[in-house]
Structure 1
Amino acid sequence: MSTTRATTPDNPDSSVVAVLGLDDAGEILTLQRAAYLTEATAHNDFDLPPLTQTLAELAEELADSTVTALGIHDDGRLIGAVRVHRSENAAELGRLIVAPDRQGQGIGTRLLLHAETVYPEASEIRLFTGEHSIANLRLYARHGYHETGRTSVGDYQLVHLAKTLR
């Protein structure tokens, strides 16, 4: 799978949500590391899996037929991405990332809403985020996600969330 973009002369921001593939792995990993530095700082944990994931591990993840990676490019630059994993009749959302200089512009919302449609047979979508990720928790609550539990990780907790899709 490769990245596709739609361009139109009357739309200066011609970015669309597109499927990403193996050829996008390096760019995804670069964006992932930049985006997760904020999370690492908020949770005082610089060993977060998104920061320690290798290119080979990411390539293996992208090659998995149950994983769909989505992204948004703007002027050739990947500015947001997310991965959705199909798990029985649920979807698991992971690594929703937006370039630090583009946060707060609706990119995360666009990716989140598109991710909810990737597996139409899924009855629920699940995700988790750190308890100190206030903006993330606000985003998910605004779009109908509710807390289903917490898991302790060192000095903080992961907040597990879910949303019924149908």
Structure 2
Amino acid sequence: MTVSLDSLSVRVAIEADAAELLVLQRCCWVQEAFPNDTLDTPPLRETLDEVTSRIDESNVSIVCDGHRFVGAVRVRLIDRTWEIGVRVVHRRAQQQKHRVVPTSRLPDRRR
């Protein structure tokens, strides 16, 4: 089965995206927390101010399906190693297993 990627876009996050990113992050991580019987995970404890500051200090990319955020990844370069901080994928996107964003559609955030 093939699904069109036309509705998906990838872009660099800006400060104005912080609130929606926080909601997406909590929606995704709470699914992990319940089976593990704990809500005490860093992504669930982050505040809006922390998410906003991480957008400024890291490379954050967002995957959108139309106007809706369905995924995001936060990475940062430490010395010569990329550290992957938080990766979130909305359940709706997980259910569409064959939808993959080619790397050619990812924003160039090399520093």
TM-score between the two structures when normalised by the length of structure 1? 0.55
Alpha-carbon displacement from aligned partner over 1:94-123 (angstroms, at most 9, x marks no partner) = 2111112221435896499988x8549xxx
What is the CA RMSD across the aligned residues, in angstroms? Answer: 3.0
Distance 1:108 1:51 in 2: 27
Secondary structure, in 3 states, of the residue corresponding to 1:80? strand
Distance 1:104 1:62, change over 3 A: same
Distance 1:54 1:107 in 2: 33
Give yes or no for contact 1:72–1:81 (8 Å, CA) kept in 2.
Answer: yes
1:70 to 61, 71, 74: 61
Greater RCO (Cα-Cα under 8 Å, separation 6 or more): 2
Alpha-carbon displacement from aligned partner over 1:106-150 (angstroms, at most 9, x marks no partner) = 5896499988x8549xxxxxxxxxxxxxxxxxxxxxxxxxxxxxx
Distance 1:112 1:15 in 2: 13
Distance 2:93 2:110 in 1: 27
Instruction: Indicate the structure with greater strand content.
Output: 1
Mapping 1:147-162, distance limit 5 Å: none
Unpaired runs of at least 5, structure 1: 1-10, 121-166
State the percentage of identical aligned residues.
30
Distance 1:71 1:19, change over 3 A: same
Structure 2: which amino acid aligns with 1:95? V
Structure 1 position 49 matched with structure 2 position 75:
no
Unpaired runs of at least 5, structure 2: none
1:92 to 83, 88, 101: 83
Secondary structure, in 3 states, of the residue corresponding to 1:57? helix
Give the length in aligned residue pairs. Answer: 107
TM-score between the two structures when normalised by the length of structure 2? 0.80
Distance 1:41 1:72, change over 3 A: same
Give yes or no for contact 1:31–1:99 (8 Å, CA) kept in 2.
Answer: yes
Residue equivalent to 1:83: 74
